[in-house]
Amino acid sequence: MVIRRLLRYLIPHRKDVTLAFSLLFLATMANVANPILIKIFLDDYLVPRNFPLQPLILLASGYVLLLIINAFLGYHQLLIFHKVALRVIQRLRIDVFGKVQKLNVQYFDTTPVGVVVSRITNDTEAIKELFVSVLATYVQNIVLIFTVLIAMFILDAKLALFSVIIVPLLLLLMNTYRKLSTKIYHRQRRMLAQINAKLNESIQGMNIIQVFRQESRLRQEFAAINQEHYQASLQSIKLNSLFLRPAIDLLYIITLIVVLSFFGYKSFNFPIQVGVVYVYVNYLKQFYEPVNHIMMGLSELQQSLVAAERVFELLDEKNEVQVKQGTDDPQIREGRIEFRNVTFAYDGVNPVLKDISFEAEPGQTVALVGHTGSGKSTITNLLMRFYPIEKGEILIDGVPLEKYAETELRRKIGLVLQEPFLFAGDIKHNISLHNPEITLKDVQEAADLVQARGFIEKLPGKFNAPLGERGATLSSGQRQLISFARAMAIQPKILILDEATASIDTQTEELIHIALKKMRQGRTTIAIAHRLSTIQDADLILVLHQGRIVERGTHQELLSLGGLYHKMYLLQQGVS
């Protein structure tokens, strides 16, 4: 149950919660006691016109003191509830963020980034209201309702019984509202997530949007999503306007008419104390006001529960990074790679790799070439264990890939992508990634190796030079050189280059080719390349077509075959 799961987050704060509830109970008692003092004043002093100074001062002092106590206790219980709520949401957000870090890459292929962000931010913020407002409000008002009922029974059992009879009607009203509002709030949260997703997509692709003049289309799409969110919000307002305060106020007025009619009828035969009438009317108001607060709190409660469902849905996501199998702790020492009859489909239906088999010996460079969609990047994704293997087997140093710990794979495999990703921070930490095992000297040596130190030393602050988000202050070539240095700083046994020279200009590429030769020494390299000129010295070239290896060999061997590789080479050389 969602609410039970949410309440578990209160267990570490049970002492604070207990204190807050105790203060809440005492404040409620003080609130209920005040009308009694007014009754005493009306019946014992005002009606008989008896005004002794000392008792009246004591009565007034008691009334003011109860107001002060109520305010003091109310302030402190509210403060404690807010502190606990903030700690709970802090813990919940950390849990969700930690879960996101464990999710498999496959999850992000089908889930927009904005939807994930919405669950971590908007949905957890909505949950906060459950602990700040709803929980305290419900407890306080339930205590107040029961206390008022007891006092009403003491004053007049028949009238109190009438108040109890209408409770099932109130419960029916609450249950109807809950059922109707759940669907509306689900739609509302879903639309809010889509708004975030569209915002994220638009900001990330702003240069493309402006270049291709897509502003109008994106604005229309964003407006359409906002319109759906508006419709859901309007439905919520209509439902609240019907079921919350107006409905309760109608019941209150009907009950008040019955109570006053009862006292009026009774006054024809028996004397009625003014204080009793005042107290009963006051208690009747105090009975319905908490009911109103509870009904109003239902709106926040439903929103919190819907948001919690979405958050727990993410926390319960099964598509996590694969964990190693078995109790052994194998180490990658040589970097020998073997694919055995590997078949894989992203959607589980249409395979993008079909019966792939090859070997890469330690120190060798194996290049993957082929047209777009032939399966080159999928091979490296499987080797990095971003996706589970459906059929076949991948071995490193003769050990199945799934038997390696995640930390061992990430420590021994270096990856350079076509589009480098840099974090906001400085150059030094973008290379070391805050790894305590990588010293400044290691960072500098890695930068030297990939020919990056020259431009770094010219920057203000050198290796401490600040970088904006995604390294926007650097050129694409400079960003790629830093990603090269990052890969080499861990001194991997296996190096994966996914079209790594695509973002580098011709002059820089010449330097990179020199660096690549140094980088490949003593480690197994898997290189994806579109430009065949960059992999002519590879020990083995695999030519992929529609998910299969159709040719394999060295550059000269493949040219002599006169097959697909030969045609690709001629096309790139400009020969028809």
Q: For the domain that residue 516 is a member of, what is the CATH number?
A: 3.40.50.300
Q: Please, is 207 exposed, middle or buried when counting C-beta atoms within 10 Å of its C-beta (0-12, 13-18, 19+)?
A: exposed
* Together in a domain, 161 and 222: yes
Give yes or no: residues 254 and 353 share one domain: no
- 364 and 240 co-located in one domain: no
272, HSE (Cβ side, Cα atoms, 13 Å): 18
On whether both 111 and 248 belong to a single domain, the answer is yes
* Helix or strand holding residue 474 (H, E): none
Q: Say if residues 44 and 36 touch (Cβ distance below 8 Å).
A: no
Shared domain for 343 and 309, answered yes or no, is: no
User: 40 lies in which domain range?
Assistant: 2-315
In a domain, 91, yes or no: yes
37 Cβ neighbours under 8 A, 6+ residues apart: 59, 62, 63, 66
Residue 412 in any domain: the answer is yes
Asked if 354 and 253 sit in the same domain, the reply is no
**Which bin fits 358, alpha (ψ -120 to 50), beta or left (φ > 0)?**
beta
Residue whose token pair is 């079209």: 499
Q: Are residues 127 and 75 in the same domain?
A: yes
Q: Which amino acid is at 562?
A: G
Task: Examine residue 147 and state whether it is found in any structural domain, yes or no.
Answer: yes
Which of 315, 346, 366 is the endpoint of a domain?
315
Residues 396 and 442 in one domain: yes
Query: Would 277 be classed as within a structural domain?
Result: yes
CATH of the domain at 278: 1.20.1560.10
Q: What residue type is assigned to position 93 of the chain? A: R
pTM over 0.85: no
DSSP-based three-state secondary structure for 385? coil
Are 234 and 380 within one domain? no
The closest of 352, 350, 345 to 375, measured between CA atoms, is 352
Query: Do 546 and 355 form a contact (C-beta atoms < 8 A)?
Result: no
270 and 363 inside one domain: no
Residue 328 resides in a domain: no
Give the burial string for 20-30 (b: 16+ CB within 10 Å, else e). Answer: bbebbbbbbbb
Cα–Cα distance measured from residue 565 to residue 370, given in angstroms and rounded to the nearest whole number: 8
Cβ neighbors of 569 (< 8 A, separation 6 or more) are 532, 559
Q: Is residue 331 part of a domain?
A: no
What pLDDT was estimated at residue 219?
A: 85
Number of domains in the chain: 2
- 330 lies in a domain? no
pLDDT at residue 576, rounded to an integer:
47
Per-residue pLDDT of the chain (576 residues), as tens digits, is 787 888 888 888 889 888 888 887 788 777 777 777 777 777 777 777 777 888 888 888 888 888 888 888 888 887 888 888 888 888 888 888 888 888 877 777 777 777 788 788 888 888 877 776 677 677 777 777 777 777 777 777 766 776 667 777 777 877 887 788 778 877 887 888 788 778 777 777 776 677 667 778 888 888 888 888 888 888 888 887 777 667 777 777 777 777 777 767 776 676 666 666 666 677 777 777 777 777 777 777 777 888 888 888 888 888 776 666 777 788 888 889 999 999 998 877 888 999 999 999 988 889 999 888 888 888 988 898 888 888 899 999 989 988 888 888 888 888 888 777 888 788 888 888 888 888 888 888 888 888 788 788 888 888 888 887 777 777 777 888 888 888 888 888 888 888 766 656 666 666 667 767 777 777 898 988 887 877 888 889 999 999 899 999 998 988 888 889 888 888 877 654
Q: Are residues 74 and 203 located together in one domain of the fold?
A: yes
Q: Which residues contact 431 (CB under 8 A, 6 or more apart)?
A: 438, 443, 446, 447, 482, 485, 486, 489
In a domain, 430, yes or no: yes
Examine the domain organization and report whether 545 and 450 are in the same domain. Answer: yes
pLDDT of residue 168: 78
